[in-house]
Chains A and B, each alone.
Chain A
Amino acid sequence: MNDDEVIRADGISKSFGPVRALTDVNLHVRRGEVLGLIGDNGAGKSTLIKILTGYHQPDGGSLLFEGEPVQLRSVVHARSLGIETVFQDLAMVDDLPVYLNLHLNRELVHRPIPFLRRREMRRRAREALDSIGIDIPSVTAEVGMLSGGQRQAIAVARSVYANARLLLLDEPLAAMGAKESALILRLLVELRQRGDLAIILIAHNYGQIMDVCDRVNLLQHGEITFDRPSKETSVAELLDLVHAEYRLKGSVSSAPDQIERDSGPAEV
C-alpha cells in the first residue's frame, strides 16, 4: 500500500433487493491524483460513489481511509473524515443565497446563543470562491439565479472549502455546455495542481476524462474491469471496451454513436 493512498476499496458489494448493483469493486486513489471512473448507465457508478460517501452502507468488502479501516456510517461521518461529494443534483437549495449554500449544514453560529454568523459566512464564502478562481459577482445572490456552470463551481468550491481530502464528483459535466464544462475542467486542473486532494471524477465524455485524469477505471457489471494510467490508454481504447460490451449484449444500437459524438476533445 502506498503512503499517499487516500482511499482503498476492497471487494465492495451492494444489492438493492434482487438487483446486484456492485459485485466486487476494488479501487484506490492517491493524494494529488484524479481518478476517472467510467462505465455504462446502470454499471453502478452512482452506487459506488454513494458508498464511498457514507450515503449507502456496503453489504460486503472493506474500506481503508488513509490506511485505516473505516466503516462510513453516514454522510456526516464521511464528511468529518474529509470525504466530500458533489452529487449529480448538486445538493443546492435554489432559494438560499450562495454563501448559505456554501455552508449548508456547516453554518457558523455565535456562542453561547447560536445565531447565524451571516457576515462571517459571507466573508469566508467570498474568500473560498476567490481562492480557486470562481467568478461569482455576489455571494448574496440566490443560487437559483445562477447558471448551471456557476452552480457546479459553487458545489465544488463548497467541498474544497470544507477541507476535503477526497473529492467525489458525480457527472459534474452532464448537461453542461462547452463553455461551462471548460470552467469546471479548469477548476479540476487547478485543484489537481494543489496536490493535497484525491479526486474521483465520473464522466461520460472520455475526451474530458483523458484531459484531466491521471488514471482511468472502468466499472462494468458491478466490478472494476480496467485500471490504467490515462497516458497508457486512449479514447479509442475506452470506446472499444464499451463497444465490446455492447457487442456482447448483441445490441449495437445508437448508444455507442452517442458516446462517440460526445467524446471529442474538451474545449479547455
Chain B
Amino acid sequence: MPGGRTLLLGLMRVKELSILLVTIAAAIYFSTSSDAFNSVANYQTIAQYVAPWSIIAAGEVMLLICGEIDLSAGFVFALAPFLLMQFYVNGWPLALALLGAIVASMLIGVINGLIRTVLGVPSFITTLGMAFLLYGLVLIISGGRPVAAPKDAAVMQVFGGAKWTELLWAIGVIIVLQVILSGTRFGIHTQATGGNRVGAAESGIAINRIKVINFAVLGTLAGLAGILQGTRVGSYDPTNGGFDTMFFGVASAVIGGTALLGGTGTVVGAFLGALLLGIAFDGFNVLGVSANAFNVVLGAAILIAMILNVSLLVLRKRMGSRELA
C-alpha cells in the first residue's frame, strides 16, 4: 500500500512525534489516575519543573548538536543569582546587576568554549572542572547560606517574580532557539559542525567560533534560568541547580531526540522531553509514589527513548534508501 507507506515515512520524518505521543500518553494516564493532577495549581507545579530544565535543555541541544556538552551549566545556574546580589549590594541598580550577572554567565560559557577550542581540552573534562570551580565559588560568595531574592522589585517581576513568567521565558527561549537552529545559517553550521567536523571546516565554516558561541548561549541561558527560578521561589540558594539540573537538561535533550554524538536534534524535542519529565515527576508526587521510583522511570525513559531513536533511524534510512534507489 504505497499511500500508507508514504504516510508512515512522512510521520517518521517528524522526529519529535514519538516523544510527543509518549508525553500525551503520560498526561492522559496521570490525569485519569488522580483528580489532583487536573488543577491550575498543579499545572503551575509542572511548569516550575519544566521551565528551568527546558531552558538548560535548549542550550544543551545546540551544544550537543555541534558535538560538545557542558556539565557546568547547573553551577552557572546556581552562581548567577549570587553574582546579581553581589553587584546589587555594591550599589548597582537592580537592572544593571541583573544584566551583569547574565553577561558574567555568558563569559563563563565563552571561557569553557575557548578552553575547548583553543587549548583542545575535551568539553567533558573542561566543563567538569568548571563545574567544581563554580560550585566552590558559589559556596564562598554565599557563605553557604541562602539570601532573599529582590522579588518585589518591578524589574524582577518580569524575571520570575510574576506568576508564569518563568514558563513564558522558557517557551520564548525554545521558540527563538528552534528558529535559529532550523531557519538560519548559524543553525545549519551548528548541525554541520557536529555532523562532519572536518567537512564543515573544509567548507570554510568557522567551527571553533560556532562552538564558542554555543557555549556562550548555554552559559547565558543557565544564568537566566537560575535567576528566574530563585526569584520565583523568593530566595537564592547555593544548593540550587548543580549536576541534577544540568542532567535533567541533558536528559530532556536526549529524550527529545538529540544525538549525544552530534549532528541532529531539535529544541522543540528537548522541550517535549522536559515536559515529559516534568509531568512524570509531578504525576508520581501526586500519586504518592516515592522519588526513588521516579529515578527508575527517568532511567527507563532515557533508555527507551534512545533505543527508539536508534531503531527509527535505522528504519528511516532503510525506507529512505529504498525510495531513492
Q: How far is the CB of A188 from chain B (nearest CB, A)?
A: 20
CA of A144 to CA of B192, assembled, Å? 13
Which chain A residues border B200 with CB–CB below 8 Å?
A: 91, 93, 104-105
Contacts between chains A and B (CB distance < 8 A), count: 85
Which chain A residues border B189 with CB–CB below 8 Å?
A: 105
Q: Are B199 and A142 in contact (CB under 8 A)?
A: no
Residue ID in chain B nearest A142 by CB atoms: B320
CA of A89 to CA of B140, assembled, Å? 50
Which chain A residues border B198 with CB–CB below 8 Å?
A: 89, 91
Check: B202 CB closer than 8 A to any chain A CB.
Answer: yes
Which chain B residues border A76 with CB–CB below 8 Å?
A: 204
Residue ID in chain B nearest A141 by CB atoms: B324
Q: Are B191 and A93 in contact (CB under 8 A)?
A: yes
Q: Are B202 and A96 in contact (CB under 8 A)?
A: no
Chain B: how many interface residues by the 8 Å CB criterion? 26
Is chain A's binding surface mostly helix, strand, loop or mixed?
A: loop
CA of A233 to CA of B204, assembled, Å? 38
Q: How far is the CB of B195 from chain A (nearest CB, A)?
A: 4
Which chain B residues border A144 with CB–CB below 8 Å?
A: 317
Known: A94-B196, A105-B204, A116-B188. A146 touches B183 (CB 8 A): no
Interface residue from A79, A94, A109 paired with B204 (Cβ < 8 Å): A79
Q: Are B184 and A93 in contact (CB under 8 A)?
A: no
| Contact code string A63-102 (vs B, CB < 8 Å = 1, else 0) | 0000000000011100100000101011111111000100
Chain A: how many interface residues by the 8 Å CB criterion? 33
Which chain A residues border B195 with CB–CB below 8 Å?
A: 93-96
Check: A107 CB closer than 8 A to any chain B CB.
Answer: yes
Check: B292 CB closer than 8 A to any chain A CB.
Answer: no
CA of A126 to CA of B125, assembled, Å? 44
Q: Are A91 and B199 in contact (CB under 8 A)?
A: yes
Q: How far is the CB of A120 from chain B (nearest CB, A)?
A: 14
CA of A76 to CA of B201, assembled, Å? 10
Residue ID in chain A nearest B185 by CB atoms: A107
Chain B positions 168-190 with a Cβ under 8 Å from a chain A Cβ: 179, 183-185, 188-189
Check: B323 CB closer than 8 A to any chain A CB.
Answer: yes
Q: How far is the CB of A86 from chain B (nearest CB, A)?
A: 10
